[in-house]
Amino acid sequence: MSSLHPLRLPGSRILKEPKPWRLWRSLLLLGLWILATESRASAHSSSRAFLHLRRTTEAIHGRVEIPLRDLEERLGLDANDDGSLTWGEIRRREQDLCDYVTRRLVFEAKGGRVPLGLAPVEVSRHEGEPYLSLDLNVSPIPQTDEFRIRYAILLDQDSLHQCLIQAEWSGETRIAAHGREEVSFPAVSTAVPGIPWTSLVTEGAHHIWTGYDHLLFLFALLLPSVLHRTRTGWVPAGRSRDVVREVVKVVTAFTVAHSITLCAATLGWIHLPGRFVETTIAASILLAALANLTGSPPPNSMDSPWRFNLPPWIRPRGWMVAFTFGLIHGFGFASVLETLGLERGGLLHPLIGFNIGVEAGQLAVVALFLPVALWLRSSQLYRTAVLPGASILILLLAGGWMLERALDLRFMPF
């Protein structure tokens, strides 16, 4: 056994020469006795922010999300000091929060700072932790090869803080951290030539199924396709063949129309403001559903159970409605395609791929709907319950969306 063995220490000179109390106390005052290795209870993740970026031809859109706890520590948001952060306490400091982010999140292109616009603050959660969320907008972007982001949020108060920066167009995630405050991304989408056909087609089909406003519009148009309007109200359509022909006409008209505007918008020929497009799409759904509820021509008839007398222009044949409003839906599709981060260069193949996807998704909807509708068309209930019931439901949803989008509110569940 070595003479240094610690169990011999008590008997060694160390204990025979007790050190003055003064020294011991000064050690304790350090407050730092690492008395045991604390690794076993090492804990709790470090602070992490997220920056997600998409780009269109003119701007970068994105969202930055920052842990509220850390912002509170820096900015003292808990005004009444009760240990709980309420929405009111955050809202009243909205300007300070935006200033803090603007000062510490800088986008540069060609050596110059690109102005950063921030939307109203929101709250979100990641892994159960509350976050402050800010939608942002960086524009105008000069012609450049790369963007640089200088990130300084929270880094001066927490050297372990990190921000995960994800740029959709390049498909990369970078980390900004202490000592690595500058992060750059190529300005031109490196992903464009690489977006495979399959993913474009999937994206298009996916959009039809998850962009429920298009789906509802289609439903509203298709619901009466197995019926006929008569002077006395709806009656079942006769032959299935006629029904199918009618459906084909409606779907084709919708397709042709939205393809036209999708191309026009993506190629940059026409540009409509997003809010206008979204509101009009909601209006189109509303009108299509409303048309279903006005049972019978002519306009003066009192037979309609709903007593609506709409001007004749919204009660033309289904395919005309489909075409007219299809034009506006095309702009909606274009904005989705834009978020995939395409450059004006190689547009043809994404355009075709995306459109094929949209059509395929649409056909799937029709294929699901049509057999059921044909099967049910002669039942009284289809006319008295399904058609009006579903139309009212669609009408309410569309009305909600329209108000929400027109007035820039947020109250709908989806």
Partner 1 sequence: MYPRLSIRVAAAILALPCLVADAAGTADAPRRPQSDSEIVAKLRPGALPASERESRQWRLDLERNPTNLPLALASARRSVQRARDEADPRQLGAAMAALAPWWSDNEPGPEVRVLRAIIRQSLHEFEPAIRDLEAAVQGSPRHAQAWLTLCSLHTLRGNFASARGAALQLGKLSDPFTTLAVAAQIGSLTGHAAQAQSSLTQLLESEPAGTPPELRRWAETLTAEIADRRGDFDAAGNHFRKAIRLGPRDPYLLATYSDFLLDRGHRGEVADLLQGWDHADGLLLRQVEATGNPALARELGDRLDSAFARGDKLHLREAARFELRIRHRPGRALTLALENWDLQREPADVRILFEAATAARDRKALETVRTWMESTGLEDIHIPHPPTQNHRE
Positions 135 through 164 that interact with partner 1 (CB under 8 A): 135, 155-162
3-state secondary structure of 71: helix
What is the DSSP secondary structure assignment for residue 42, as one 8-state letter?
-
Report angle CA 172, 177, 180 to the nearest 5 degrees: 80
For residue 33, state whether it binds partner 1 (rule: CB under 8 A): yes
Q: Pick from 210, 316, 345, 346 the residue near partner 1 by CB under 8 A.
A: 210
Q: Which residues contact 25 (CB under 8 A, 6 or more apart)?
A: none
Among residue numbers 347 through 366, which ones bind partner 1 (CB under 8 A)? Answer: none
CB of 398 vs partner 1, minimal distance in Å: 12
Q: Pick from 182, 308, 389, 396 the residue near partner 1 by CB under 8 A.
A: 389
For residue 95, state whether it binds partner 1 (rule: CB under 8 A): no
What is the DSSP secondary structure assignment for residue 145, as one 8-state letter?
S
- The DSSP annotation for 371-389 comes to HHHHHHTTSHHIIIIIHHH
Whole-number Cα distances in Å, 320 to 232, 241, 256, 275, 287? 23, 20, 11, 24, 13
Output the six-digit token pair for 37. 């290795």
What is the DSSP secondary structure assignment for residue 314, as one 8-state letter?
G
For residue 333, state whether it binds partner 1 (rule: CB under 8 A): no
Q: Pick from 231, 308, 371, 375 the residue near partner 1 by CB under 8 A.
A: 375
CB of 141 vs partner 1, minimal distance in Å: 24
Q: Which is nearer to partner 1, 160 or 348 (CB)?
A: 160
Among residue numbers 236 through 295, which ones bind partner 1 (CB under 8 A)? Answer: none
For residue 178, state whether it binds partner 1 (rule: CB under 8 A): yes
CB of 409 vs partner 1, minimal distance in Å: 10
For residue 11, state whether it binds partner 1 (rule: CB under 8 A): no
Q: Which is nearer to partner 1, 17 or 302 (CB)?
A: 17
Q: Which is nearer to partner 1, 348 or 407 (CB)?
A: 407
Check if the beta carbon of residue 189 is closer than 8 Å to that of residue 169.
yes
Residue ranges of alpha helices (H) inside 267-381 are 274-293, 318-339, 348-376, 380-381
Output the six-digit token pair for 137. 């907008």
Among residue numbers 12 through 31, which ones bind partner 1 (CB under 8 A)? Answer: 12, 14-15, 17-19, 23-24, 27-28, 30-31
List the x/- string, 53-92, binding to partner 1 by CB under 8 A.
Answer: ----------x-x--xxx-xx--x-x--xxxxxxxx-xx-
Q: Which is nearer to partner 1, 125 or 180 (CB)?
A: 125
Check if the beta carbon of residue 287 is closer than 8 Å to that of residue 314.
yes
Of 121-129, 141-149, 182-190, 328-336: span binding partner 1 (CB under 8 A): 121-129
Q: Pick from 59, 188, 191, 215 the residue near partner 1 by CB under 8 A.
A: 215
Q: Which is nearer to partner 1, 273 or 413 (CB)?
A: 413
User: Which DSSP helix (H) or strand (E) runs through 222?
Assistant: helix 212-222
Separation between Cα atoms, residue 206 and residue 391, nearest integer Å: 24
Q: Pick from 107, 185, 219, 331 the residue near partner 1 by CB under 8 A.
A: 219
Q: Which is nearer to partner 1, 32 or 302 (CB)?
A: 32
Q: Annotate 201-214 with b (16+ C-beta within 10 A) or e (fewer).
A: bbbbbebbeebebb
Q: Pick from 100, 325, 382, 401 the residue near partner 1 by CB under 8 A.
A: 382
User: Which DSSP helix (H) or strand (E) runs through 23?
Assistant: helix 21-29
For residue 367, state whether it binds partner 1 (rule: CB under 8 A): no
